[in-house]
Amino acid sequence: MFELRTLALFAITAVAEILGCYLPWLWLKEGRSPWLVVPAALSLAAFAWLLTLHPTAAGRTYAAYGGVYIGVALIWLWAVDGLRPTVWDVTGGAVALAGMAIIMFAPRG
């Protein structure tokens, strides 16, 4: 149960970060409303807060979070950008998620 809760929290954190970066991207690259920076800032604030909810050291949390971020970003690539990840994207994402699992779930003394 701890593992699923940790993975879900990382996934929600990644969505908050990606959304917080994607909205300004829409403004700057796609010519959308500059008001998108307001929900973007709120999303990035939520991202920072969500990282504090993990029960382990900050450095370990940040290191492991990177693996989940990669996986969620690949899902975003497919779902939002409409581009299917390549076999290399999926392989890299799997390696990153394996690294996250090693960092977060290894036995500690």
pLDDT tens-digit readout, 14-24 = 999 999 999 99
pLDDT tens-digit readout, 12-62 = 999 999 999 999 999 999 999 999 999 999 999 999 999 899 878 888 888
Beta-carbon-side half-sphere exposure of residue 68 (alpha carbons within 13 Å): 27
pLDDT at 80: 95
pLDDT at 54: 84
Are 106 and 98 within 8 A, CB to CB? no
Query: Average model confidence (pLDDT) for the chain?
Result: 93
What percent of the chain stands above pLDDT 70?
100
